[in-house]
Amino acid sequence: MTLSEIERAVVRCTRCPELREYTARVARERKRAHRDCEYWGKPVPSFGPANARIVLVGLAPGAHGSNRTGRPFTGDASGDFLYPALYRAGLSSQPNATNRNDGLVLLDCFVTAAARCAPPANKPTPQELRNCFPYLVSEFSALTSMRVAIGLGAIGFDATLRALRECGFALDPPKPKFAHGAEAAARKGKRVVVAIASYHPSRQNTNTGVLTVPMFDAIFARAVTAARRGGRTDR
């Protein structure tokens, strides 16, 4: 499948009826701050060019962020922390992400997620993650230029590692533990993809200092270096 075909399948997906009902209900009821907005209210497709060398894997859409705007990390606090970091690293055309038509273009970077529907309390169930997992595997297969995969948060990093294994990559170390800055090399023949773990740019992490701007910038600096080196870092 091409990325366009995958994203069309994502938007049509009904594998989790309870999530489709929840996202549609949130779109109907709306948050007071966004009562005049037209919500997306469906599974959220990924975002970025097909030839991207750097891939980000997040957790799930926010109920009033991506579920409202229809684009990953757009319209909420997590995106307000992520996209300026991508801009500073030269991976986006602008630091602000407000809606699907704001002119933002990703440069050599592709943003996806472990789950495509906004879950209650931002916590997808194990079954919901399993239902979404084939889409991530299909995207990894289609992203033939990928040389770096960044897992945002423990769930994003775990999904990244499992998708790489499902695509036939061998990991070194074979079972890396999640920690900010943790790294593993994924090899398949002569191709190398470096998997990097990062704390998720959620408000819970950024407002408490668990994840700071310098910490996040360091992740993307490493990613850009690894992409230029064909999936290798200096570690």
Residue 166 lies in a domain: yes
Mean pLDDT, rounded, of the chain = 96
Range of the domain at 98: 3-228
Confidence at residue 234, expressed as pLDDT on a 0 to 100 scale = 57
Residue 234 lies in a domain: no
Which residue has 């200096």 as its token pair? 234
Q: Which two structure tokens, joined as six digits, stand for 61?
A: 């859409």
pLDDT digits over 60-102, tens only? 999 999 999 999 999 999 999 999 999 999 999 999 999 999 9
Contact 113/22 with Cβ under 8 angstroms? no
pLDDT-derived band at 16, boundaries 50, 70, 90: very high
Residue 207 lies in a domain: yes
Confidence at residue 230, expressed as pLDDT on a 0 to 100 scale = 82
Confidence at residue 211, expressed as pLDDT on a 0 to 100 scale = 98
**pLDDT at position 20 over 80:** yes
Confidence at residue 24, expressed as pLDDT on a 0 to 100 scale = 96
Q: Stretch 143-171: mean pLDDT, rounded?
A: 98
CA distance 229 to 7: 29
Structurally, how many domains does the chain consist of?
Answer: 1
Which contiguous run of DSSP H or E holds residue 211?
none
Residue 152 lies in a domain: yes
Residue 105 lies in a domain: yes
Interior angle at CA 103, CA 116 and CA 34, nearest 5: 60
Residue type, 220: F
Residue 41 lies in a domain: yes
Residue 233 lies in a domain: no
Task: Determine what percent of the chain is predicted with pLDDT higher than 90.
Answer: 93
Which residue has 């919500």 as its token pair? 39
Confidence at residue 232, expressed as pLDDT on a 0 to 100 scale = 64
Q: Stretch 37-62: mean pLDDT, rounded?
A: 97
**pLDDT at position 171 over 90:** yes
**Four-residue CA torsion sign, 128, 112, 151, 162:** positive
* CB neighbour class for 209 (10 Å; exposed up to 12, middle 13-18, buried from 19): exposed
Which CATH number goes with the domain that contains 40?
3.40.470.10
Whether pTM exceeds 0.85: yes
Q: How far apart are the first and last CA of the chain?
A: 34
Residue 102 lies in a domain: yes
Q: Stretch 113-140: mean pLDDT, rounded?
A: 97
CA distance 77 to 65: 8
Q: Stretch 163-173: mean pLDDT, rounded?
A: 97
